[in-house]
Amino acid sequence: MKQRVAFIGLGNMGGPMAANLLSAGFAVSVFDLSDEACKVLAGKGASVAESAKAAADSVDFLITMLPAGKHVAGLYLGDDGLLSMLDASTTVLDCSTIDAQTAREVGEAAAARDIGFLDAPVSGGVAAAQAGTLAFMCGGDAKVFETAQAVLNAMGRASFHAGPAGAGQVAKACNNMLLAVHMLGTCEALAMGKEHGLDPARLSEIMLASSGRNWSLEVYNPWPDVMEGSPASNNYQPGFMVDLMAKDLGLAMDVAKTAGIDNSMGQLAQTLYEEHQGAGNGARDFSSVLERYRQK
């Protein structure tokens, strides 16, 4: 018999993730506040439920992909929350990017009912969700991580067990803070070279073969027309939106604060990204922050 999965939150990411579960042969029941989003999945073979509870009834896996911590807490916790109706036969994965504290609270509430729970935020944007090549950073029990491989493999190409509940969100916050910092550093270096008459493509080639090499240079060059297919070469169509980077930097600030870490680099990145967002660039790709340096 097919394993049953409930998928709640069928937005830009959740929609294609649920579609990949259908392609992999799972029986998928879906729910979203948007009827439109549900209809798209119905067209691919999912059964549309009338509520989150109806979707999650008697499933092997329950997966959520929601905007923020308040949506996740609202759905799972409390007397009327989803955890109150589930038991150990369902494994729960929250793939949303949320604050680590909420992820820990949901993880603890699930453990109290003997329900396996993973916070499993993803790296890779909409294109990776569509292609089934996401990377999952998971927090929770190691046995639950093993059980979840069946669904993780259908949606991604890599999954990592980072530690106990909340550790997946901490890993995601660390990664995206570093991404913001090396993207800004890459933009700064390219703009500096250009002002001195260097060709950004040649400078990129030099730094790629030298110790400045990093992911932003390697696969996501922020200078227009240096790299075919990059958001920069496509008028900064996302990609990964500035709004989402600003959100993730906010989460990273909380992670740094609760750890008592001096994250001056992350704080500066947050200031620069929030300025860029405030200038009307929220819906553009995060590499568009290069323009800040070109408009000097």
Which residues are tagged catalytic? 172
To the nearest 10°, report the CA torsion of 65, 280, 127, 97: -30
Stretch that binds ligand NAD, among 30-38, 42-50, 111-119, 280-288 (CB under 6 A): 30-38
Structure-block tokens of residue 98: 């949320």
- Dump the DSSP string for 58-109: T-SEEEE--SSHHHHHHHHSSTTSGGGG--TT-EEEE-S---HHHHHHHHHH
Q: Is 32 one of the binding residues for ligand NAD (CB under 6 A)?
A: yes
Q: Is 281 one of the binding residues for ligand NAD (CB under 6 A)?
A: no
What is the H or E stretch that residue 256 is in? helix 242-259
Residue 175 CA to residue 13 CA, distance in Å, equals 19
* CA angle (206 as vertex; 204, 211 as ends), nearest 5: 100
Q: How many residues of this chain interact with ligand NAD, rule: CB under 6 A?
A: 26
Binder of ligand NAD out of 22, 75, 118, 177 (CB under 6 A): 75
Binder of ligand NAD out of 10, 46, 83, 272 (CB under 6 A): 10
Residue (100 or 189) nearer to ligand NAD, CB: 100
Site for ligand NAD in 120-139 (CB under 6 A): 122, 125-126
DSSP secondary structure code for residue 286 in this structure: G
Residue (28 or 190) nearer to ligand NAD, CB: 28
Which residue's Cβ has the minimum distance to ligand NAD?
11
Residue (193 or 266) nearer to ligand NAD, CB: 266
Task: Compute the least distance from the CB of residue 200 to ligand NAD, in Å.
Answer: 26
